[in-house]
Homo-oligomer: A and B are copies of this chain.
Amino acid sequence: MGDDSHLIEETTEREEILRGGFLHVVRDTVKLPNGRFATREYVLHPGAVAVVPILDDGRLVLERQYRHAAGGVMIEFPAGKLDAGELALACGRRELLEETGYVAREWAYAFTMYPTVAYSDEAIEIWFARGLELKGAQLDQDEFLDVFTATPDEFLGWCRDGKVADSKTLAAALWVQNVIAGTWKLDWQTPSVAA
């Protein structure tokens, strides 16, 4: 789509404005394409991985979790933040096991999503997982969630009816629909057990 110089902003300054227990927020000064200056405040985030786990019978593994900021129980695919230096696939395997108790034999990268382009640098990689075997969840003592399964039709119906409202889960639903229809292809890999 050609030259983007009429759109791009250049950072001229950065100031840390919040170092919370969880959130880290900076304020950048940027030079706009017209030469004027503006500020951009946003959350610095390590990135995250979400997993679409598909059982051998085609059912999806999902979670119900209370989300304080959203003020309700949300239906979501398993997901979590990258640890320092952690690769996305390793994070997906860790979060899938910790939260749902499943290990997966095969993995496929699907897409990357920015949940909040206006005020966070978070990117979420979405991976599909199949060849699932139940080992038992390893939740932290202060982590509470229900794991359940649904057919793709049930799940897509919930997306249509507003029962699914989490962005990564809705965006992944586009992939669920097209992968199951066979119109979008995934490149499955079998990582080594130790990796």
Contacts and interface: CB of A to CB of B under 8 A. Distances in A.
A27 B117 CA distance: 22
B22 A23 contact: no
Interface in A114-162: 114-123, 141-142, 144-146, 148, 159-160, 162
Interface residues of A, number: 71
Interface of A: 1, 4, 6-9, 11, 17-18, 20-23, 25, 27-28, 30, 32-34, 36, 38-43, 64-71, 73-74, 76, 111-123, 141-142, 144-146, 148, 159-160, 162, 165-168, 170-171, 173-174, 177-178, 184
11 contacts: A8-B73, A20-B25, A22-B41, A40-B69, A43-B69, A67-B118, A69-B118, A112-B162, A116-B122, A120-B120, A170-B174
A164 to B, nearest CB: 9
Given A18-B17, A40-B69, A70-B121, A113 B8 contact: no
Contacts of A113: 165-167, 170
Contacts of A146: 1, 7
Nearest to A6: B144
Contacts of A73: 4, 7-8
A129 to B, nearest CB: 19
Contacts of A76: 117
